[in-house]
Amino acid sequence: MKAIKLFSGILVIALLMGACSTIQVATDYDRQVDFNKYKTFAFYKPGIDKAEISDLDIKRILRSIQYELQSRGYQLSENPDILVSIFTKEVDRVSVYNNVGWGWGWYGYPYAGMGYNTISRDTEGSLYIDLIDADRKELVWQGKGTGSLITNGDLAKKEQRIREFVQEILEKFPPVQPTSQVAGVSE
């Protein structure tokens, strides 16, 4: 009986952890760039116009990026040090779960009975935030956030989810660089 309670507790914890909506973040940057020299930014319209999402979602993303950068001391400028661009990818995931019924059989022995299948659909999206050196027109930093996009049509949840994506991606900017990297000296 203790084993079944333990199994049930583990199952509940696993389901709750699976229900948490995490965002996986990956970043890359040019190790020869001194990110301390960047103080101002602007949005790179030609890149943003290629994002395959609604104009309203683009506005939500850009407002979130502007908020995050300004909260870190960067200023929006018509003569920027860095240009900000975004692009998105979306993938529909279909998962099939084989569920087996559990119960007590003859003489008090547990059994695994006939099961059923559960099909789950989920949309996983990736948001890329590119930072481009305005003078050189070269990519210097890229952040990618990947996670579930399902908000069940709730606009408040959608806006919150976008803010979470942007915040977690830009949490890694600017990168922490050893001083020898900035000076162009390899370690």
The predicted-structure confidence for 100-157, as pLDDT tens digits, reads as follows 655 665 666 665 555 666 776 666 789 999 999 999 999 999 999 999 877 778 889 9
- Beta strands per DSSP E along the chain: 23-29, 40-43, 75-76, 82-104, 110-133, 138-148
What tokens does 61 get?
A: 């993303």
Lookup result for tokens 């590119």: 130
Enumerate the β-bridge partners of residue 85: 130
Q: What pLDDT, on the 0 to 100 scale, is given for residue 125? A: 87
- On average, the pLDDT of the chain sits at 80
Comparing 39-48, 122-131, 167-176, the range with the smallest average pLDDT is 122-131
Query: For 23-90+124-175, which CATH class?
Result: alpha beta
Q: What pLDDT, on the 0 to 100 scale, is given for residue 149? A: 76
Q: What pLDDT, on the 0 to 100 scale, is given for residue 151? A: 74
Residue 176 has pLDDT above 90, yes or no: no
Contacts of 184 (CB under 8 A, 6+ apart): 32
The helix/strand/coil state of 53 is coil
DSSP state of 176: P
Percentage of the chain modeled with pLDDT above 70: 66
Percentage of the chain modeled with pLDDT above 90: 51
Give the other-Cβ count within 10 Å of 84's Cβ.
Answer: 23
Of 21-25, 92-96, 108-112, the range with the highest mean pLDDT is 21-25
State mean pLDDT over 86-111. 68
pTM of the entire predicted model: 0.71
